[in-house]
Copies of this chain bind each other. A is one copy, B any other.
Amino acid sequence: MTSTPASAELIRHAGLRVTDSRRAVVDALESHPHASADELFQQVSARLPQTSLQSVYNALADFVAAGLARQIEPAGRPRLYELRVSDNHHHLVCSQCGKVEDVDCVVGAAPCLHPSETHGFAVEAAEVTFWGVCPDCAASPL
Contacts and interface: CB of A to CB of B under 8 A. Distances in A.
Interface of A: 71-73, 75-76, 79, 90, 92, 94-95, 101, 103-108, 111-112, 114-135, 138
A96 to B, nearest CB: 10
Copies in the complex: 2
Given A116-B103, A116-B106, A127-B131, A138 B111 contact: no
A114 B92 CA distance: 11
A123 B92 contact: yes
A106 B114 contact: yes
B119 A101 contact: yes
B115 A138 contact: no
A124 B108 CA distance: 22
Which secondary structure dominates chain A's binding surface? mixed
A75 B127 CA distance: 10
B122 A133 contact: yes
A99 to B, nearest CB: 9
